[in-house]
Amino acid sequence: MKLRKEEKISLLQVVDKLIEVGRKFKAISNQEIDEIYEDYLDLLEGGSKGLLEYLEIYKERKSASEKIIRMIEQIREIIGNYFEFIDDEDGDSLEASLELLKDLRKKSEEIEIDIFADLPPPSIKLALTFDDSVKINGLILHLLDLGKKLDEEFDKENDPLRKDNLRNEFLNILKNDTDLIEKEEKLYDRECPVDIKMIHILEETLQVIEGYKSFIEGQQDINTVRGLMDQLKRTSSPLQEILAGHDKELKLLGLVNYLMDTGKKLKIIHKTMDGEEAEGAIEEIYKRLEKDLEKIESERNRYTIHNENDNIGIETLGLCKEVTENYMQALESNDVNYVDQSFDTIIKAAELMSSYQKLQQESREIGMAQYLIKTGKELKSIYLSDLEDREKYFDIMYERLLSERLKLEEKKKKYFDSEKDEKVDPQVLFVMKPVNANMSEIFDKAIEIIDNYIKFIDDDRNLDLISQSFKIAIYIDYMLEESDKMIENMQSNIPRAGTVIGEA
């Protein structure tokens, strides 16, 4: 027996109002002043009509409860009794209605709130991990670059199809991109609500690729490409919230990958080009490398020697500078050996970059809801695998879950113990009450998910338990965001409110 939160509140308000009206009728029943009753006619008529309309809508739901339907019908019957009381002032009927209303009030309070009924879709911060965001951001930037190149070619000749080799080059790139995206899409679970978000973004990029292909094949004009580029920018915008503060890591990763690609291009130029074509390509790359050297020097200034992560970043930048200088030397002396020698240095830089990323990942906190979803996905992956020692992995997860459950209970106790220990102003206690209610529910729901996972390993092995837990995790994320907003509203008035969420 469940209702949406606002529906339960409305039901309680209707019952409370009818109790108030019934008591008023009882108080004035011997005064013989009909005009007082008339003041309530519109209220009763409106209430009866509103309940009837809601009842028709509610009955159409798959989750409709016969008990709730009966309660609403009883409330409408009581309104009917009130109309009769106005006519004949039957005190016994009024008293019976008030007794029934008390019983309905108690039943209304016991109705569970359907926390999933109006749950918003998962936030982008919940749906995408940092690594997911890096991956998607890189894909979007790549597609934006392709869009710019298509636009530039259109401006040059007003016909991107003028050369078969150029046309085929673009189409081959887009085909490779499509293959990679489709492979990536298969890694995500369509039954997991946060994975669906990722799948949706990947499908958007596939639509962009199809739009680019249509332009190249002459089926669409350049405005299609420009519109798709705007669409990509809109998709990219929320990712920046996740990537914010990690631009050093992203730039370093981009630099290492860029130098690897540049080395490959220099090898291709050396093998396949000559004359003016080679000179033009070499001049363009050399100018770019000169700017790269300046950027590396500038980027170096953002790192500190007093941070372990930054020290690895400094060393990686040093190797990137060495590779850049080698490339420039190769172009100046027309000696491709400098490029060959640089590949070992790039590989070393890539290894350092990997260490740097690992340290950065360890320093990034994962949110409670995101962690719980990640754990559920791990369990599902183990269950669906054909590993011979699958039970061993379940045993490891089982011990981890028991430990996590204990930690959550300790966090909850610590959170509320700190509230008791501190001497807090009554006004602060009043405004903190809804936040504390949220936090209590958040901890309880997180423990409920852990219990579901433990039950899944113990004996159930029902994937519905994991699917249900994903929904609860989204609800936790929603409640955390709601608590954050409450605190933001309080912070300007009450300093204590700023430290409420703590480790949760």
Residues in the chain: 504
3-state secondary structure of 160: coil
Query: Mean of the pLDDT values across residues 66-88?
Result: 87
Give the residue from 435, 494, 461 showing the smallest Cα distance to 380.
Answer: 461
User: Residue holding tokens 């990679």?
Assistant: 180
Q: How far is CA 171 from the centre of its chain?
A: 33
Q: What is the mean pLDDT of the chain?
A: 82
Q: Is residue 385 within a helix (H) or strand (E), and if so which, with residue range?
A: none
Query: Mean of the pLDDT values across residues 333-357?
Result: 84
pLDDT value at position 23? 87
pLDDT value at position 100? 92
Whole-number Å distance between alpha carbons of 259 and 289: 10
3-state SS string for 234-257: HHHCCHHHHHCCCHHHHHHHHHHH
- Output 242 or 44, whichever has higher pLDDT: 44
Whole-number Å distance between alpha carbons of 141 and 155: 21
Q: Please give the C-alpha separations between residue 419 and each of 215, 337, 441, in angstroms, as whole numbers.
A: 62, 68, 16
On the question of pLDDT at 105 being above 50, the answer is yes
299-316 per-position pLDDT tens digit: 877 777 666 777 888 888
Cβ-contact 113, 10 below 8 angstroms = no
Query: Mean of the pLDDT values across residues 391-420?
Result: 86
Whole-number Å distance between alpha carbons of 363 and 24: 64
Cβ-contact 261, 339 below 8 angstroms = no
On the question of pLDDT at 245 being above 60, the answer is no
pLDDT value at position 499? 46
- Output 134 or 74, whichever has higher pLDDT: 74
Which tokens sit at 254? 């981009």
Number of Cβ atoms within 10 Å of the Cβ of 211: 19
Number of Cβ atoms within 10 Å of the Cβ of 239: 19
254-278 per-position pLDDT tens digit: 888 888 888 888 888 877 777 777 7
- Output 497 or 279, whichever has higher pLDDT: 279
Whole-number Å distance between alpha carbons of 85 and 93: 7
User: Residue holding tokens 């690609």?
Assistant: 261
Give the residue from 444, 463, 449, 331 showing the smallest Cα distance to 401.
Answer: 449
Can you name the residues that pair with 104 across neighbouring β-strands? none
Helices 368-384 and 390-421 cross at an angle (nearest 10°) of 160
Beta strands in 98-140 (DSSP E): 112-113
Q: Is residue 2 within a helix (H) or strand (E), and if so which, with residue range?
A: strand 2-3
On the question of pLDDT at 500 being above 50, the answer is no
211-243 per-position pLDDT tens digit: 999 998 888 888 999 999 999 998 888 877 666
CB neighbours of 240 closer than 8 A, spacing ≥ 6?
A: none
On the question of pLDDT at 450 being above 90, the answer is yes
Query: Mean of the pLDDT values across residues 137-157?
Result: 82
Query: CB burial class (10 A; 0-12, 13-18, 19+) of residue 173?
Result: middle
462-489 per-position pLDDT tens digit: 899 999 999 999 999 888 888 877 777 7
Cβ-contact 408, 450 below 8 angstroms = yes
pLDDT value at position 208? 95
- Give residue 304's identity as a one-letter amino acid code: T
pLDDT band of residue 502 (cuts 50, 70, 90) is very low
Q: Please give the C-alpha separations between residue 279 and each of 266, 285, 330, 391, 418, in angstroms, as whole numbers.
A: 12, 10, 13, 63, 71
Whole-number Å distance between alpha carbons of 83 and 77: 10
- Output 90 or 6, whichever has higher pLDDT: 6
pLDDT value at position 128? 77
On the question of pLDDT at 439 being above 50, the answer is yes
Cβ-contact 500, 435 below 8 angstroms = yes
Q: Where are the domains of the chain?
A: 2-113, 124-244, 246-364, 368-493
On the question of pLDDT at 204 being above 50, the answer is yes
Cβ-contact 253, 357 below 8 angstroms = yes
346-395 per-position pLDDT tens digit: 888 888 877 776 666 655 556 788 889 989 998 998 888 887 888 888 99
On the question of pLDDT at 181 being above 90, the answer is yes
pLDDT value at position 493? 56
- Output 280 or 209, whichever has higher pLDDT: 209
On the question of pLDDT at 457 being above 70, the answer is yes
> How many angstroms separate the first and last alpha carbons of the chain?
30
Whole-number Å distance between alpha carbons of 263 and 344: 11
- Give residue 89's identity as a one-letter amino acid code: E
On the question of pLDDT at 85 being above 90, the answer is no
Query: Mean of the pLDDT values across residues 449-473?
Result: 90
pLDDT value at position 497? 45
